[in-house]
Amino acid sequence: MKNKTIAAIARSTIAVILLTMFAVSTASGEYDLSWYTIDGGGGRSTGGPYILTGTIGQPDAAWSSGGDYELLGGFWPGGPLCFVDFESYARFAEHWLDEPCDEGNNFCGGADLNHEDGVNELDLKLFVEEWLCYCPMGWTLK
């Protein structure tokens, strides 16, 4: 009888510990989305080398991250936002020092970013300036 009572107390204790652990783990996993904006604008504006495009009523077309989480927002066509990263670098590296680059070969597969003198250090400079940023409008290395 004593062994059954000890076993029952042990099972109850383990159950309480497991329930407590479960409650703590679910409480810390809650998300808070209390901050938001609805962005405005629409159409396309240009000036010098800059191009600005916007969409009326588009919820935050941007990328946010915190801890192990990422959030991609907005309704731009073409799936997730494009970032200049190793995938773009691999496409760029395939054409390193290729020349001549022209419309006939799509400026060496898009790697001749300045459309001058083939794929060289000047293109690499342009590429590095965009590293880990959103792909610029018309990014040829998608």
In a domain, 87, yes or no: yes
What's the DSSP call for residue 52? E
- What pLDDT, in 10s, does the model give residues 2-46? 666 776 676 777 766 766 666 555 555 566 656 555 555 456 667
Q: Does residue 130 form part of some domain?
A: yes
CA-closest candidate to residue 96, choices 111, 74, 113, 79: 111
Indicate the SS3 state at residue 132: coil
Please report whether residue 77 resides in a domain.
no
pTM over 0.95: no
Please check whether residue 19 lies inside any domain of the structure.
yes
| Interval 68-93 mean pLDDT | 72
Mean per-residue pLDDT for 121-136? 89
- Asked if 38 contacts 59 with a C-beta cutoff of 8 angstroms, the reply is yes
Domain count within the chain? 2
pLDDT tops 50 at residue 74: yes
50 has which bridge partners? 47
Query: Which pLDDT belongs to residue 121?
Result: 96
21 phi and psi, to 5 degrees?
-60, -40
Range of the domain at 10: 1-30
Integer CA distances (angstroms), 19 to 13, 15, 16, in order: 10, 6, 5
Q: For 45-61, how does the pLDDT look when each residue is reduced to its tens digit (9 = 90+)?
A: 677 887 766 655 555 55
Give the three-class secondary structure for 65. Answer: strand
To 5 degrees, how large is the angle CA 68–CA 74–CA 76? Answer: 120
In a domain, 63, yes or no: no
Which is more confidently placed, 70 or 5? 5
Q: Which residue has the higher pLDDT, 27 or 95?
A: 95
In this predicted structure, what is the pLDDT of residue 14?
74
Q: Which residues, 6+ apart, have CB-to-CB distance to 99 below 8 Å?
A: 108, 117, 118, 119
> Has residue 37 been placed in a domain?
no
Task: Classify residue 73: in a domain, yes or no.
Answer: no
| pLDDT level of residue 78 (50, 70, 90 thresholds) | very low
- Could you tell me how far CA 109 lies from the centroid of its own chain? 23
| Residue 26 forms part of a structural domain | yes
- For residue 61, which of 45, 47, 84, 79 has the smallest C-alpha distance? 79
